[in-house]
Amino acid sequence: MDKLKFTEKQNELIRVFKQDKLKRLNVLEGSVRSGKTWISLILWAIWVATRPKDYLYMMCAKSLQTLKRNCLLPMQELVGEKYFKFSLSTKEGVLFGRKIMLEGANDMRSESKIRGITLGGAYCDELTLFPKDFFVMLLSRLSAPGAKLIATTNPDVPTHWLLTEYLKNEKLTDDLFRMFFHIDDNTTLPDDYVASLKKEYTGVYYDRFILGKWVVANGAIYKVFSDSPRSYDIKSSDLPSSFEYLNVGLDFGGNGSQHALCATGISHDMRKIYALKSERISAADMTPQALYKRVCDFCEDIQKRYGKVSAVYADSAEQTLIAGLRQALRPLGIIVKNSMKREINDRIRTTTMLMAGGRFYLVSGECQTLIDAFQGAVWDDKVIGKEVRLDDGTSDIDTLDAFEYSFERHIPQLIRSEK
């Protein structure tokens, strides 16, 4: 690590460490790609190296896979495998001879995983995504002499528990060190990349992930689309000759809703997504066999015009319908898989990034239900403390789900790294 070059902001953090000015709670917040995660890992490594070897330490993120991608692999690259080894299966690592517990904080039950332990230090990645109960328990476990928390986070809603109960809590002034990182602080990034990234974030995501503000989401979700819907049109004749993936998303309708289908093509470079066709089908009085016929007709049309359908991704909540659909689509050589059901806001964020970055298109005249769904989607202003897409029957959530099911498995490939 001796040869590493730091930005001015990163050097400022290192000076804080050298001057012994870290506090019990140390939170680095701000923009994406601002350099805070990278420097936080360096800070964590050099701090742990100065601590007693008989203490137990912890690194955690929303999930173990997220922890591996965002922190463990970069840490190994920074210090070398000789000094940092880890195993997700045992949820343990060793950093400079110190034992590191690895944990995911993905739901309210996670706090039970860390009861009863005594920690000499903890590292948290993307802290706003943690359940509050887990964080409260984690702080109570930091009971070894000199124990510290080092954490990173992007902003969230201004009513988030992390901001209201900790970062803005005047009673914690003596125990809290808080440093803000802006994307422009990361002078190692190419100017054209920063400009592209700023363009790809819109609305609340721009305010949070580029400006680093704690703001609430309100109004239209896909405003970038609604402001200029025709700019996303593409003619069938202008489409690529083939796609890396040609998927169909299917959302099953229940009482008062409709079945929804959406076909999308993803470019070979995994940079662009094309909505090829969308359709809604009334769920009222429709037998499963009639639904299967409509889905088969939809898929057969897509295959005739655009090539082999890679898969149909169907709402995983309806396993009986999926089983019948598999039989119905077998003659067409099309496989049916369960939707992943990634978090809705992750799906929304990816969609708006693609739209703003000039990486999303839809075929003129074939996707009217999807167009209507984008234009009608709004945030639920009655929900306090988090973003929730309004789902009260006044907008077409079914088509949005179908569209998102068609590409959600490929989100890590479609978006750029934000670390």
pLDDT digits (tens, 9 = 90+) for 172-204: 999 999 999 999 999 999 999 999 889 888 888
Name the amino acid, one letter, at 359. R
Q: What is the pLDDT of residue 256?
A: 63
What pLDDT, on the 0 to 100 scale, is given for residue 2?
53
**Do 230 and 346 sit in the same domain of this protein?**
yes
* Residue 78, in any domain of the structure: yes
The CATH number linked to 393 is 3.30.420.280
d(CA 163, CA 263): 41
Do residues 385 and 244 share a domain? yes
Cα separation, 161 vs 182, whole angstroms: 22
Q: pLDDT value at position 285?
A: 78
Task: For residue 117, tell me if it sits in a domain.
Answer: yes
The amino acid occupying position 318 is: E
**Beta strand residue intervals within 283-384, DSSP E:** 311-314, 336-338, 360-363
Phi and psi at residue 339, to the nearest 5° = -65, 150
For residues 143 and 266, membership in a common domain is answered with no
pLDDT for residue 255:
62
The CATH number assigned to the domain holding 116 equals 3.40.50.300
Residue 416's pLDDT is what?
A: 61
Domain stops at, among 168, 187, 206: 187
In a domain, 194, yes or no: no
Domain boundary among 130, 163, 187: 187
Cα 182 to Cα 191: distance, rounded to the nearest angstrom: 14
SS3 152: strand
Supply φ then ψ for residue 337, to 5 degrees.
-125, 160
pLDDT of residue 419: 38
Same-domain pairing of 165 and 234: no
Residue ending a domain, among 187, 206, 234, is 187
Beta bridge partners of 93: 86, 100
Name the domain count of the chain: 2
Provide the CA 220 distance to its chain's centre, in angstroms: 20
- CA atoms of 99 and 87, how far apart (whole Å): 12
**Is there a single domain that holds both residue 230 and residue 330?**
yes
Q: Model-level pTM?
A: 0.79
What's the confidence (pLDDT) of residue 176? 98
Asked if residue 376 and residue 236 are part of one domain, the reply reads: yes
- Over the stretch 20-70, which tens digit does the pLDDT of each residue have? 999 999 999 999 999 999 999 999 999 999 999 999 999 999 999 999 999
On whether the CB atoms of residues 341 and 316 are closer than 8 A, the answer is yes
Please indicate, yes or no, if residue 376 is contained in any of the structural domains: yes
Enclosing domain of residue 36: 8-187
Cα distance between residue 350 and residue 407, in whole Å: 10
Collect the ranges in the chain with pLDDT lower than 50: 417-419
Paired tokens of 408: 């959600």
- CA distances to 5, 33, 193 from 188, rounded to whole Å, are 9, 10, 11
CB burial class (10 A; 0-12, 13-18, 19+) of residue 180? middle
Are 293 and 349 contained in the same domain?
A: yes
Which residues does residue 300 pair with via DSSP β-bridges, in sequence order? Answer: none
Identify whether 402 is part of a domain: yes
Alpha-carbon 280 to chain mean position: 28
pLDDT value for 110? 81
Under DSSP, the state recorded for 186 is -
Whether residues 57 and 136 share a domain: the answer is yes
In-domain check, residue 37:
yes
Does 85 share its domain with 154? yes
